[in-house]
Amino acid sequence: MMTKHENLNEKWDVQLRKGSLELVILAALKNRTLYGLEVLKLLHSFETMKITEGTLYPLLDRLKRDGLVSAVWQQEGETRPRKYYQLTKQGEQKLDIVTKRWRQSVKDVEFLIQNPGPKSIQLKGE
């Protein structure tokens, strides 16, 4: 029974991530400069954001192509070179816009959950 529950959770997470992952990455990089493994470790510290390497890197590549993040290779001391990502101005703007939409969505969904039938909801504009 427990496994079925977990399975459902995971399916839900995957579905939700499809639309929200870009926001998640942009938010993770807000005022931070991180390389891929650091982004991955950061996301894995959250219950619902355990994405794979195979999802993360192509997405970072696309965000870079879209001009939302920039990337530079850096080498510190004896460590191997790493590719560090940060938000561009355009990325910050997009994060602001998408954040507002996200909050609106959460508010709307939450409202519906809080107001089950049979009582009717007063619709806007009526």
Partner 1 sequence: MSEHDPIHYYLKSLSKYLSRLEKTEANEVIREIESHILDALELQQQNGQKEDVDAILSGFGEPRKLANQYVEHLLQGTPPPTGFKAIQTVKKGATKSLYYGMGLFGFAISALLILVGIGKLFYPEYIGVWSAAQGNSVTITFSEHIYPNSDELLGYWLTPIAVGFGGGITWLTRSVLRVLKQNIH
By CB under 8 A, which span of 4-12, 61-69, 91-99, 114-122 interacts with partner 1?
61-69
By CB under 8 A, which span of 12-20, 22-30, 80-88, 115-123 interacts with partner 1?
80-88
Residue 41, helix vs strand vs coil: helix
| One residue of 65, 118, 122, 125 binding partner 1 per CB under 8 A | 65
When asked if residue 82 is in the footprint of partner 1 (CB under 8 A), the reply is yes
Q: In what order do the strands lie in the sheet with 82-87?
A: 34-35, 82-87, 69-74
Q: 84 to each of 24, 33, 90, 114, how far by Cα in Å?
A: 17, 6, 17, 42
Question: What are the residues binding partner 1 (CB under 8 A)?
Answer: 35-37, 52-54, 57-58, 61-62, 65, 80-83
